[in-house]
Amino acid sequence: MQNLKFVSVTNIKKKPLPAWATGTIATPGGMVQIASTDLSRTDIWGMVKSRASAFRMNYIVTPGLYAVGKPTKDSDVFVTANYKMSFDVLRRELKGINAWVLVLDTNGINVWCAAGKGTFGTDELVKRIIEAKLDAVVTHRRIILPQLGAVGVSAGEVQKKTSFRVSFGPVDAKDIPAYVESGYKKTKEMSTAKFSMFDRMVLTPMEINPVMKKFPWFVAAILLIFGLQPSGILFAKAWYGGLPFLVLGLLAVFSGAFLTPVLLPFVPFRSFAIKGWLMGITMTFIATWLFNVFNIQNPLLLAVAFILFPALSSYIALQFTGSTTFTGMSGVKKELKFGIPMYIGAAGISLVLTILYKMKEWGLV
């Protein structure tokens, strides 16, 4: 075991520095890499990719201690997660500040989510403080955590175990310079999780993408339903009959995964299920009646359109509760208690009506 440890240490020394490191600094805890406070094009492109796809799943920084600027024994210690975007945002905001950055192993998950899971937690923080020999690196006994890390870290326990006193800094890394300048005082603004239209907008790709992965199944089902004839599957009929439904399906995804999140405070009611349903029925109404482009004449199909798609939009909008900064578990549970029976009901009724429509089409009833 001892031998293995030695080998891995020498390997680290031989490894080339990451692209964002500008050098190294010797500390009592070993060599520490100095992180640049400027983000490169690669770093920014990484942020964009992380916002849009599962690329984020392995976007990590090696946990441990890092330096920013030219930190001394008196410099502040900032703690973050080993999700590369969390690390990048922090070092960018530390421009002009000499500080230590302690990166916890959160399996590449951001601070808030990792704190919820407990990986950004008391035990991991205590372990990293000891491993980095932080008590020898700095003479003071203060560490600054992102406020949202408080979900997983008990400041009292950390102090008992390491003698370091935890200060929970601002929610947003961009407030760090102001926080430091004011003598580590937070304004109410700095300690509140904000959720601007822009914040909500950048989250929508991760709402749309998972749904669109399932969309081909919906396309296949719709084409099958409309194309299926006693004589076999007619492609022209599948396309002509199915197209309005495919467009309505896309609109339901758009209204549930994009419109509702972006317009969140402007859509009436507090329930996400109701917000999503309202946006869904509005979109369905606009598409079927106002423009009348799809020309769905059959009353059975029209009923399906107005039952199924608003419900779909509602269900998708409810998923956004996972991305907000203000929804709690008890509230979402309450929504699901009413929502799930409604969704199953809507899907069931739509299925029955569709079967009825096909039976009429085939002259069975």
Contact call for residue 344 and another protein (CB under 8 A): no
d(CA 351, CA 328): 33
Contact call for residue 326 and another protein (CB under 8 A): yes
Cβ pair 24, 64 in contact under 8 A: no
Cβ pair 310, 343 in contact under 8 A: no
Q: Which residues of 121-148 are buried (b: 16+ CB within 10 A; e: fewer)?
A: bbebbbbbbeebebeebbeeeebbbbbb
- Identify which range of 20-28, 43-51, 98-106, 184-192 contacts another protein by CB under 8 A: 184-192
Nearer to another protein, 113 or 356 (CB): 113
- Identify which range of 52-60, 88-96, 230-238, 345-353 contacts another protein by CB under 8 A: 52-60
Binding mask 100-129 for another protein (x = CB under 8 A): ---------xx-xx-xxx------------
Smallest distance from another protein to CB 350, Å: 20
Nearer to another protein, 108 or 242 (CB): 108
Contact call for residue 284 and another protein (CB under 8 A): no
Contact call for residue 270 and another protein (CB under 8 A): yes
Contact call for residue 151 and another protein (CB under 8 A): yes
Of the candidates 216, 265, 268, 363, which one interacts with another protein according to CB under 8 A? 265
Nearer to another protein, 241 or 335 (CB): 335
Contact call for residue 215 and another protein (CB under 8 A): no
d(CA 23, CA 32): 9
Of the candidates 35, 332, 346, 353, which one interacts with another protein according to CB under 8 A? 332
According to the 3-state scheme, what is the secondary structure of 32-88? EEEECCCCCHHHHHHHHHHHHCHHHHHCECCCEEEEECCCCCCCEEEEEECEHHHHH
* End-to-end Cα separation, the chain, in angstroms: 77
Smallest distance from another protein to CB 15, Å: 27
Please report where in the chains the tokens 């569709």 appear, as a residue. 354
d(CA 38, CA 89): 10
Contact call for residue 52 and another protein (CB under 8 A): no
Cβ pair 22, 35 in contact under 8 A: yes
Question: According to DSSP H, which parts of 255-298 are helical?
Answer: 260-262, 272-285
Of the candidates 302, 323, 358, 361, which one interacts with another protein according to CB under 8 A? 323
Please give the helix or strand (H or E) that residue 31 lies within, else none.
strand 30-35
Of the candidates 33, 204, 271, 354, which one interacts with another protein according to CB under 8 A? 271
**For the chain, what's the residue count?**
365
- Tokens representing residue 209 in the block: 């993408």
Contact call for residue 155 and another protein (CB under 8 A): yes
In sequence order, what are the residues at sequence separation of 6 or more whose Cβ sits closer than 8 angstroms to the Cβ of residue 218? 246, 249
DSSP letter, residue 96: T
Smallest distance from another protein to CB 83, Å: 11
- Tokens representing residue 344 in the block: 């199953």
- Tokens representing residue 194 in the block: 């904000």
> How many beta carbons lie within 10 A of that of residue 179, not counting itself?
20
Binding mask 189-208 for another protein (x = CB under 8 A): --xxx-x----------xx-
Number of residues forming the site for another protein (CB under 8 A): 57
Smallest distance from another protein to CB 276, Å: 11
What are the residues binding another protein (CB under 8 A)?
53-54, 57, 109-110, 112-113, 115-117, 147-148, 150-156, 167-168, 171, 186, 188, 191-193, 195, 206-207, 209-210, 213, 264-265, 270-272, 318-319, 321-336, 340
